[in-house]
Structure 1
Amino acid sequence: MDWLTKFPQIDPAVLLTVKRAIDGSLRGLTRSYGKAIENFFYPLQQVLIFFEKMISATPWPIVILVLAAVAWAAARSWKVVAGVVGTMVAIGLLGLWGDAMLTVSLVLTSTIFAILIGLPLGILMNRYQTAGRVMSTVLDVMQTMPPFVYLIPVVMLLGIGRVPGFIAVVIYALPPIIRLTDLGIRLVDKEVLEAADAYGCSRNQKLWKVQLPLAMPTIMAGINQTIMMALGMVVIASMIGVQGLGLNVLQAIANQYFTQGIFNGFAIVGIAIVFDRISQAYGRRLQKHRSVGHE
């Protein structure tokens, strides 16, 4: 009756052989093409360094003024502007301004890259059913995969540093923008599309002049979720050398520094609130304009 209590499995020796073959091939790839892989990602490293230096070197009053201006342009609300300014001032008063700027630069660059990759993939997912089904399955796997797993392949190929951390953050943050781009395009009213057809719009004209503008509120919700997921990955990415608030939290966990963990956690939450309020307010304004346009 052992077969009822012990689930049958593949021969452990066979599994071990397969695991060793896969791991060995990845290590062999790294040894053989490690320099070529580093050279390939060198421009990306320079882009990350540029953004990091630009944001970190900018005087704090200018950073706060720019964020306040962006908040006003997005929300047209003094409450949102006051919340953004108050949050950034509080982060500075806690002595976390420099680390916060490193985190902001990582989140901004990873969000920009996620949008540049995710928007075309979302359009592709919407236009081609077969590709859409395949991508939907891949996205399901990506969204249920533990975040730590993303670190393994990039570390094996690229080692420790800002580039592998950045790649892991982008991969983790991609699914929302892809899914909500596809959803936003699908939610465009059929009557509007029929009117575009009646005016003789081509497929590309219909996409760029009708579907994407009307889908922008939903796409903005996807961008909002992408930003939140990028921030959520910051602490995990610090395990492979990413500087900023996440590294401070990791050190606080390792050394049991309660107040350091709380303060840095507050700073991460504060940055998340700033980005969330700005992107949500802009999305609501777009939704309002769309509703007025329909009326």
Structure 2
Amino acid sequence: MSDSSWLTEFPQLERRDLIDIRKSLDGAYRSFSREYGETIENFFDPLLSFLIWFEKLLISSPWWLIIAVIIGIVYAASRSWKLSLGVLASLLAIGYFGMWEDTMRTLSIITVCTLLSIGIGIPIGILISRSNKAQAVVNPILDIMQTMPAFVYLIPVVMLLGIGKIPGVIAVIIYAIPPVIRLTNLGIRLVNVETLEAATAYGATSTQRLFGVQLPLALPTIMAGINQTIMMALSMVVVASMIGVKGLGQPVLKSITNQYFTLGLLNGLAIVALAIIFDRVSQTYAKRSQKHLEGHNNG
């Protein structure tokens, strides 16, 4: 066989092989989803029930009460009246333009996704900070999660669980969780070795060093990871709306398909307002925590 004929035949063989591999993988995944899909759905039923309850709570509660609670949380975290007044103005504008319910739906799912990302991500970050082997395994997975287009996450999740809140939550978490894992790992690894040696000299156990020294010193870096996770979760709002997640993303998607410029702009600005609120509060809290820690150490 000449070189030229080999070059012309090889791509055809490659395509046939790829088609066979794709068919095999697609068939295997369909079989898996048929056999275990209902079991996996049942596993997520408590989370779905909580999501529905939390969303209804935010929507049915008086708007002034929700605003008061949010302002209270903002002030407790930031100790800034200026920021609190800015948040108040943003929320009042959201209500005035008729986006309150969609904002509460988005707030509910983003809050749950952020809490789950923190609850899953920080322990994983701690694990890989204490083991180079674990880090070598997890880092490539995080690279894939961060570089894979967001739409790709929706395909296996929707095939397995259909459309709705739970597939949206899973897709958002997959997309948003890497920063909190990476920065938890980084923050703990950056803790001064001499500080750890001093703690060991005073008889601190490994657990005591972790919770008494490493995590407090790494808190500003961890908070930066949480901040990025929140921003990435909010950036998935419009994508998640494509699989039935209600909130500010659906009007934006509707405005794209129907060319409603004002509808898309206003709901996009509401998403931006939420992002700025989360961003400013988390950053201010991280700075306050760092100053408190530095003052405590100096004292």
TM value normalised by structure 2: 0.94
**Is the CA contact 1:30–1:157 (under 8 Å) kept in the aligned structure 2?**
yes
Match of 2:131 among 124, 128, 131: 128
Match of 1:217 in 2: 220
Match of 1:137 in 2: 140
Match of 2:271 in 1: 268
Match of 2:64 among 61, 69, 73: 61
* Secondary structure in structure 2 of the residue aligned to 1:135: helix
Give the alignment of 1:17-36 within 5 angstroms. 17-36=20-39
Deviation at 1:82, TM superposition (A): 0.8
**Is the CA contact 1:220–1:283 (under 8 Å) kept in the aligned structure 2?**
yes
1:152 equivalent in alignment to 2:155: yes
Deviation at 1:231, TM superposition (A): 0.3
Higher mean alpha-carbon deviation, 5-14 vs 144-153, is at 5-14
CA distance in 1, matches of 2:219, 2:196: 16
Alignment CA distance shift 1:215-1:8 (3 Å): same
Match of 2:90 in 1: 87
RMSD value over aligned CA atoms?
Answer: 1.8
**Is the CA contact 1:154–1:167 (under 8 Å) kept in the aligned structure 2?**
yes
Match of 1:291 in 2: 294
CA distance in 2, matches of 1:218, 1:123: 13
Deviation at 1:4, TM superposition (A): 8.9
Letter in 2 for 1:206: R
Match of 1:166 among 164, 169, 173: 169
CA distance in 1, matches of 2:12, 2:249: 40
Q: Deviations over 1:95-139 (max 9, x none)?
A: 000000000001000000000000110001101111111111111
- Gap runs ≥5 in structure 2: none
CA distance in 1, matches of 2:104, 2:175: 21
Letter in 2 for 1:34: G
CA distance in 2, matches of 1:208, 1:2: 66
1:240 equivalent in alignment to 2:243: yes
Deviation at 1:236, TM superposition (A): 0.2
- Gap runs ≥5 in structure 1: none
**Is the CA contact 1:51–1:109 (under 8 Å) kept in the aligned structure 2?**
no
Deviation at 1:74, TM superposition (A): 1.2
TM value normalised by structure 1: 0.96
